[in-house]
């Protein structure tokens, strides 16, 4: 089975000859070349074509006119697998049996059987990789956007953590209190030593 990958929005074009090639490759090797050619000629002349989209909606589709007809589908905005089927609508013989084909030309048999006139090919439509690539926003533009919504831009994790602690627990003042206590203790020791030295000098005199 042939599968070709396309991007979302890219039209799908399938040559009608592709169905003939798939049918020939699927036929039993014991069938003679002349019989194959006869069958294939009947199939091309009396074939119907359907398309099953990723939304599981199967519709009839007609080939384009011209020397090289093809199935053309432009509505590929939904990523997924698009199934194209050729269904023979011949009236005699096992080839072209319409069992499983409803009045709208849609095949509901669910399988591929070239000998009974059903040949399927598919195309896979994917979202381009570039759609998943994230690009950074300039700092000045980001700051401008932040100012419009009264927000703040953090460039480092430490700034964010510091502001988060302040928001949750308030401004920390214990460091300042500890520093003041240490300064007071040093001043007290200094004054105490001076007083002791002065008292000793007075007693000595």
Four-way CATH pick for 3-130: 1.25.40, 2.60.40, 2.40.160, 1.10.8: 2.60.40
Task: List pLDDT tens digits, range 73-114.
Answer: 999 999 999 999 999 865 544 433 444 444 444 444 445 555
Closest CA to 51 of 19, 21, 25, 26: 19
Three-point CA angle 41, 47, 48, nearest 5°: 170
Question: CA 105, CA 110: separation in Å to the nearest integer?
Answer: 14
**Which residue, 113, 117, 107, 115, is CA-closest to 43?**
117
Q: What is the pLDDT of residue 90?
A: 53
Q: Rounded to the nearest 5 degrees, what angle is found at the Cα of 41, between the Cα atoms of 111 and 110?
A: 10
Domain limits, CATH 2.60.40, in the chain? 3-130
Determine the pLDDT at residue 60.
Answer: 93
Asked whether the beta carbons of 142 and 149 are under 8 A apart, the reply is no
pTM: 0.52
Per-residue pLDDT of the chain (205 residues; tens, 9 = 90+): 455 889 998 999 999 999 888 888 766 443 444 444 444 444 455 789 999 999 877 899 999 988 899 999 999 999 999 999 999 865 544 433 444 444 444 444 445 555 567 899 999 999 887 777 777 777 788 888 888 888 888 888 998 888 888 888 776 778 888 999 999 999 999 998 888 888 888 777 6
The predicted structure's pLDDT at residue 27: 60
Strand boundaries in the chain, DSSP class E: 3-7, 12-15, 47-52, 58-60, 70-73, 80-88, 118-126
Q: Which class for 36: exposed (0-12), middle (13-18), buried (19 or more C-beta within 10 A)?
A: middle
């Amino acid at each position: 089975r042939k599968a070709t990958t396309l991007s979302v929005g890219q039209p799908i074009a399938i040559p009608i000859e592709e169905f003939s090639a798939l049918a020939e490759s699927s036929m039993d090797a014991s069938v003679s070349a002349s019989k194959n050619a006869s069958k294939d000629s009947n199939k091309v002349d009396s074939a119907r074509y359907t398309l099953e989209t990723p939304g599981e909606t199967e519709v009839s589709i007609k080939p384009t006119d011209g020397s090289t007809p093809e199935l053309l589908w432009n509505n590929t905005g939904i990523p997924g697998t698009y199934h194209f089927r050729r269904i023979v609508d011949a009236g005699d013989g096992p080839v072209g049996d319409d069992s499983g084909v409803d009045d709208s030309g849609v095949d509901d048999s669910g399988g591929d059987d070239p000998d009974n006139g059903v040949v399927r090919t598919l195309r896979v439509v994917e979202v381009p990789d570039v759609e998943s690539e994230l690009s950074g926003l300039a700092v000045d533009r980001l700051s401008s956007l932040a100012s419009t919504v009264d927000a703040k831009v953090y460039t480092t994790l430490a700034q964010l953590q510091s502001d988060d602690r302040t928001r949750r627990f308030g401004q920390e003042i214990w460091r300042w209190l500890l520093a003041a206590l240490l300064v007071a203790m040093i001043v007290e020791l200094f004054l105490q030593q001076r007083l002791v030295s002065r008292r000793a000098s007075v007693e000595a005199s």
